[in-house]
Amino acid sequence: MCLAVPGRVLGVEERDGTRMATVDFGGVVKEVCLEYLPDLKVGEYAIVHVGFALQRLDEDSARQTLELFEHLGMLQEEFGDPWEQAAAENGSGRPSHDVAAGEVQR
Amino acid sequence: MKYIDEFQDPGLAARLVDEIHATVTRPWALMEVCGGQTHTIIRHGIDQLLPEEVELIHGPGCPVCVTPLEVIDKALEIASRPGVIFCSFGDMLRVPGTGRDLFQVRGEGGDVRVVYSPLDALRIAEQNQDREVVFFGIGFETTAPPNAMTVYQARRQRIRNFSMLVSHVRVPPAIEAIMRSPDCRVQAFLAAGHVCSVMGTGEYPELAERFRVPIVVTGFEPLDILEGVRRTVLQLERGDHTVDNAYPRAVRPEGNPAARAMLDDVFEVTDRAWRGIGVIPGSGWRLSERYRDYDAEHRFQVDGITTREPAACRSGEVLQGLLKPHECEAFGTTCTPRSPLGATMVSSEGACAAYYLYRRLDLTAQAQAPASQNRAPARPPSAETAPPTPSPSPSPSSCPSPSMEGSSVV
């Protein structure tokens, strides 16, 4: 189908009685209808789908989620297999970082 | 890109994977409802990073895939008529109807146009007042508000040469149908994040309670999927079955009230046939009586359609999570994205296309490898087993940028 991606509002205007915005998606700028988020302001982020802003992106929530991920690992330290952990630490670094190779290249 | 890149961080992914490994003690079967999530999971090899106890069953949340053949055939018929400009999202072009697709209709002289937004189709109607402009309005609750707004604007601006062929679908009735199926193995759901951005989470507690399944609202980036799985497994291990929101940056409990009000005005709930699955009661939206003048099915009398599915296509079983794509005899042989037998091989959100594009076909050999190889916590796919680096595939014109490809939506 289509995509819903976060974009940052660059400007807002009324056009033919419809609230519209120019939105920046990491360098690509698109016209976006704001009728479903009329109070969205310049500088804010929104989830945009087929030319419509559908939900404000809550930047505090995003930060909190990432902080939560940073603090994960307690369980593993407590209950994980120490032999496997030692082997991983003894090996060529954290192999998990190679995930990026298959993951984010686009 | 901000709010995408951070949620693909490999270091944090490893932490989440570790945590899931440390939490799980028994086998669990989770269904991700949304095709966009299926795409992320297969593309990034997330299912291969998870403990073998955690199985991800791919759900029916690819809107292109479940649009009924009869509606596709109606679209092909309308698009073939002289005087019609037929507008659609790009991924409908290659969806097989009975014997042909929109791409072929265009080749035979039909005026078929790909648009990024339904509002683009409305603009085309304004600029071509001597032509009938029809927009193919499909999709889940995420796409329904843009389409509803477009019909509302057409009526408000009295653009009478515009109409919409509507075949919208809704997630909660599909969850109910899956849980009621006698073959059902699903023990928990990753709910579709952007559907909930619009609809909120209010429809799900009753389903979680009635079927005793955890339902975790989940986003679309790799870390979002892992966090959805982590929270789901935590509930399963504890014996809980509640609705949890693992995607709070884009989902509020109430959803988007303005969008929901527009949906209530423009659409009404109807029974809907899902391709490969059958009719699910109350699972669709059609234009309400007030907007019937803008309904392409009413404007164009399209009767006497005889539909015919290719016998070899088992997409219905794939859509219900009963069959993995590569287990189908036609997969990669008589059925490829270039010559698809079924819609699941067409859309980037279709499970078959995702497996074809990103999954190494030596998976079965890998699954039989010694368990210790698969059990090491946070062990990423090694060089031999890693999913192939995606080659830059030509992005559809509707894509704002190739880097957005991972963030699909239902």
The model's pLDDT over A29-50, given as tens digits with 9 standing for 90+, comes to: 999 999 999 999 999 999 999 9
Q: Contact B142/A49, CB-based, under 8 Å?
A: yes
Query: How many CB atoms within 10 Å of residue A10?
Result: 13
In the structure encoding, which two tokens stand for residue B272, read together? 């809907």
What average pLDDT score do residues B214-235 get?
A: 97
Whether pLDDT at B406 is above 80: no
Residue B163, pLDDT score: 98
Contact B194 A61 (CB under 8 A): no
**Amino acid letter, residue A58:** D
Cα(B182)–Cα(B139) distance, integer angstroms? 27
Indicate whether this model's pTM tops 0.90: no
Q: What is the pLDDT of residues B10-60, one digit of tens each?
A: 999 999 999 999 999 999 999 999 999 999 999 999 999 999 999 999 999
Q: Is B10 in Cβ contact with A97 (below 8 Å)?
A: yes
Indicate the domain borders of chain B.
65-170+255-299
Phi and psi at B323, nearest 5°, equal: -140, 135
Q: Are strands B28-34 and B188-192 parallel, antiparallel or unpaired?
A: parallel
| Pairwise CB contact (< 8 Å): B387 & A102 | yes
The closest CB to that of B410, out of A1, A18, A78, belongs to A1
Contact B17 A30 (CB under 8 A): no
Instruction: Please state, in angstroms and rounded to a whole number, the distance separating the CA atoms of residues B269 and B320.
Output: 22
Q: Quick check: B58 and B38 in contact, CB under 8 A?
A: yes
B346 vs B265: CA distance, rounded Å: 33
What pLDDT was estimated at residue A88? Answer: 65
On chain B, the residues whose CB falls within 8 A of the CB of A103 are: 8, 10, 13, 44-45, 222
Predicted ipTM? 0.85
For domain A4-59, give its CATH number from 3.30.930.10, 2.60.40.10, 2.40.30.40, 2.30.30.140.
Answer: 2.30.30.140
SS3 B218: strand
Q: Which residue in B3, B218, B359 has the most chain A C-beta atoms within 10 A of its own C-beta, making it the best mutation to test that interface? A: B3
**Interface contact A66, partner B, CB < 8 A:** yes
What stretch of H or E contains B120?
Answer: helix B118-127
CA distance B97 to B85: 19
At A95, is the pLDDT very low, low, confident or very high (cuts 50, 70, 90)?
A: very low
Fold classified for B65-170+255-299: Rossmann fold (3.40.50)
Q: What is the DSSP string of B291-317?
A: GGGGBHHHHS----------TT--HHH
Distances, alpha carbon B235 to alpha carbons A80, B96, B214, B230, B232, in Å = 19, 40, 7, 9, 5
| Chain A residues within 8 A of B17 when measuring between CB atoms | 96
Whether the per-residue pLDDT at A69 is higher than 80: the answer is yes
Closest residue of chain A to B63, computed from CA coordinates: A1
Write phi, then psi, for A80 (nearest 5 degrees): -70, 170
Alpha-carbon gap, residue B312 to B331, rounded angstroms: 10
Chain A residue with minimum CA distance to B409: A3
Apex CA A19: angle with CA B254 and CA B409, to 5°? 50
Spatial distance between the Cα atoms of B200 and B186, rounded to a whole number of angstroms? 23
User: Span B183-190, mean pLDDT?
Assistant: 95
> What residue spans define the domains of chain A?
4-59, 60-90
**Mean pLDDT value of segment B390-405:** 37
Cβ within 8 Å, pair A25-B139 = no
Q: Which of A2, A80, A95 sits opposite B409 (nearest CB)?
A: A2
Q: Does B71 touch chain A (CB under 8 A)?
A: no
Q: Does A12 lie at the interface with B, CB-CB under 8 angstroms? A: no
